Amino acid sequence: MDTTLQDPLVGQVLDGRYRVDARVAVGGMATVYRALDTRLDRVLALKVMHPALAADGTFVERFIREAKSVARLAHPNVVQVFDQGTDGSYVYLAMEYVAGCTLRDVLRERGALQPRAALDILEPVLAALGAAHRAGFVHRDMKPENVLIGDDGRVKVADFGLVRSVNTVTNTTGTVLGTVSYLAPEQIEHGIADPRVDVYACGVVLYEMLTGDRPHGGDSAATVLYKHIHEDVPPPSAAVPGLAYELDELVAVATARTAARRPQDAVALLAHVRDVRLALDADQLDAMPPQALAADHRDISQDRTSVIPRALTTQRPLPVNEDDVHRTSLLESPPPLPPRRRRGAGGRRGPVAIVLAVLLALGVGAGVWYINSGQFTKVPPVLAKSQSEARRQLGDAGLDLGKVEHAYSDTVKRGTVISSDPVPGTRVRDNASVTLTISDGPETVRVPDLEGRPLARARAELKQAALEPGMVTREFSDTVEKGSVISTDPQAGTERHAGSAIALVVSKGTPVDVPDVTGEDLQEAKADLQDAGLAVRVAPERVNSEFDKGQVATQTPAGDGRAAEGDTVTLTLSKGPVMVVVPDVTGDNVDDAKRTLEDAGFKVDENRGLLGLFGDTVKDQSVKGGDKAPKGSTISIKIR
């Protein structure tokens, strides 16, 4: 059954811009949709917080923190955030849409991966986390569900919703936030969240890729947490005999239970991974694992991001139920190590080629591999072409686009080809792969002064300056016209790497006070709001409230707040109060009577008078027992 058809957001346009086309995934905090940016005509992912959580300041803060954190990371292996905003009760992020699958999908379908494929997925993940770590952030929820593999073989890290600054301690709340199968011991016991918790999680993910299963199992969250604290992650060769001991050592280093024994961050672990790769020969890298158990046989609760009571993390496990709730500067992938000769005759295949091979085995993508012996062609002239143009020319010549690398250039336009390998004109066999190096433009550029520019023009000027428009937030301004830029982050004149995302603060215009119209008749409420320069929308549903039928029960935004001139206020009308049968409490003592009436949903007023000052028995009540009264209204009881 297609539940997408039942989703009320599908087919709607959020914020007058984002058309929601299909539901992609549902989590404990938000739902992800495929949407179309109708202004820029591009497909993107829209992450919409569940409306029930939008009133919770803690959840909204975490949601906004994700947007701001990721917007500061300009890295090819991080899912980019384009925009953040609200539309009525909906709080959303507009993000890059990655067509493909997750690492969890790959593991469920294939079980264990070859070591080469596992390392080719791990390296870009570590490059992305390294950029975050060097920028001062910790992901805190690394797991296969948050590793996206595009149809073109690119690997990206998603869901920075739990991101925190380095060295953040969260034990003041008495809970641990994360996914039980990937939590580091110090995360469980003390709430410490420095870069080494991401290193630990990556070690667990590597173990899972090599074996097809997680290292610590159990029938409850408490059991798994206990094992993380008290048991080492076993060597993957114990589950898959024949794996190289260097891989055992790599997993052991990354998952050391003592944080000080792990690499200090993802950059250090990435260097270790590359050393291990160079130490392995082709047979060790391409060792075919046995058909390990697919990951979907495990308790699905271990895949969820959860809030776990701290008590579960420090005591020996008992049968409990898990409560689910759901540089050196590094702004690009670390440069490759100098080439060294490796044992064995087999050369290393590019990471994209390996990942594409995994995707093709899963039936993802539309490529068809074939060999025509004896067929040759020449590499076409692709220099100074865009990546899409170069891909098209290679396809026309019967060649495949292989690895895509990036480099800075002061002379070659950003986004166009600097060089190819083999070089243009080289005679190669049909279906050979050609590696392209794409220009990222100058290594550093200055942020232009965009104050007062309309948003569309500001975005165009950023692209002309070899920068990317980042997250957009909106603020009131008495001096800057509505829809124009108030400021940028970083500010104008700051030097940044080409391709960096620049956050924009855009004016919502001069603020107006929103009148409180709750309790008013609809026509009166409309007149008051329109007089204030605001538009009015009446919600189709009605709710019970203390107000009479047809009067305004609630409004969004609330009264006495602020909005921009022309903004829309949504009114929800009342169905009238809920009528409740009043209990008969005559003859009861005062305490019992009050308790009975309050349990029924009423407020209670004691009417003692002079004769009832020392009495304790209800002689009469303002609404007779058995009659109905509005829920929440006051029942007066006379005491004698």
Residue 435 falls in which region: left (phi positive, over 0), alpha (psi -120 to 50) or beta: beta
Which range among 42-56, 295-309, 620-634 has the greatest average pLDDT?
620-634
Indicate which CATH number applies to the domain containing 449. Answer: 3.30.10.20
**How much is the pTM?**
0.50
Looking at residue 109, what is its pLDDT?
86
Is residue 593 within 8 Å of residue 618, measured between CB atoms? yes
Indicate which CATH number applies to the domain containing 14. Answer: 3.30.200.20
Which range among 345-349, 482-486, 546-550 has the greatest average pLDDT?
482-486
> What does the pLDDT look like over 222-247, one tens digit per residue?
888 889 899 999 999 999 999 999 99
543 and 468 share one domain:
no
> What does the pLDDT look like over 19-33, one tens digit per residue?
999 998 887 678 899
Looking at residue 63, what is its pLDDT?
73
Q: Please give the average per-residue pLDDT across 1-30, as a whole number.
A: 80
Position 52 in a domain: yes
> What does the pLDDT look like over 460-497, one tens digit per residue?
999 888 888 888 888 889 899 999 999 999 999 998 87
> What does the pLDDT look like over 192-215, one tens digit per residue?
788 999 999 999 999 999 999 999
Q: Where are the alpha helices (DSSP H) in 191-346?
A: 195-211, 221-230, 245-254, 266-279, 282-285, 310-314
Is residue 457 within 8 Å of residue 403, measured between CB atoms? no
Q: Looking at the predicted structure, is the pLDDT value of residue 338 above 50?
A: no
Tell which of 507, 523, 548 closes a domain. Answer: 507
Position 183 in a domain: yes
> What does the pLDDT look like over 88-117, one tens digit per residue?
888 898 999 998 889 998 999 888 999 999
Instruction: Give me the active site residues, please.
Output: 141
Position 336 in a domain: no
Looking at residue 165, what is its pLDDT?
43
Looking at residue 498, what is its pLDDT?
77
Q: What share of the chain is helix, strand, coil (3-state, %, to 5)?
A: 30, 25, 45
The string of DSSP letters for 162-222 reads T-EETTEE-GGGTEEEE-GGG--HHHHHH-EESHHHHHHHHHHHHHHHHHSS-S---SSHH
Rounded Cα gap, residues 585 and 514, in angstroms: 44
Position 344 in a domain: no
Position 107 in a domain: yes
Of 2-16, 214-228, 285-299, 578-592, least confident by mean pLDDT is 285-299
Q: How confident is the model at residue 528 (pLDDT cuts 50, 70, 90)?
A: very high
Tell which of 576, 610, 626 closes a domain. Answer: 576
In terms of pLDDT, which residue wins out, 538 or 444?
A: 538
Q: How confident is the model at residue 375 (pLDDT cuts 50, 70, 90)?
A: low
Rounded Cα gap, residues 210 and 11, in angstroms: 42
Q: Looking at the predicted structure, is the pLDDT value of residue 570 above 70?
A: yes
Q: Which domain holds residue 460?
A: 444-507
Looking at residue 175, what is its pLDDT?
40
107 and 176 share one domain:
yes
Looking at residue 264, what is its pLDDT?
94
Looking at residue 290, what is its pLDDT?
65
Q: Please give the average per-residue pLDDT across 590-597, as a whole number.
A: 94
Is residue 133 within 8 Å of residue 195, measured between CB atoms? yes
Looking at residue 291, what is its pLDDT?
56
80 and 137 share one domain:
no
Position 340 in a domain: no
Q: Looking at the predicted structure, is the pLDDT value of residue 360 above 80?
A: no
Looking at residue 505, what is its pLDDT?
94
Q: Looking at the predicted structure, is the pLDDT value of residue 140 above 90?
A: no
Rounded Cα gap, residues 395 and 416, in angstroms: 17
Residue whose C-alpha is closest to residue 70's, from 81, 61, 60, 84: 81
Looking at residue 587, what is its pLDDT?
92
402 and 465 share one domain:
no
Chain center to CA of 35: 16
Total Cβ atoms within 10 A of residue 560: 9
In terms of pLDDT, which residue wins out, 292 or 501?
A: 501
Position 359 in a domain: no
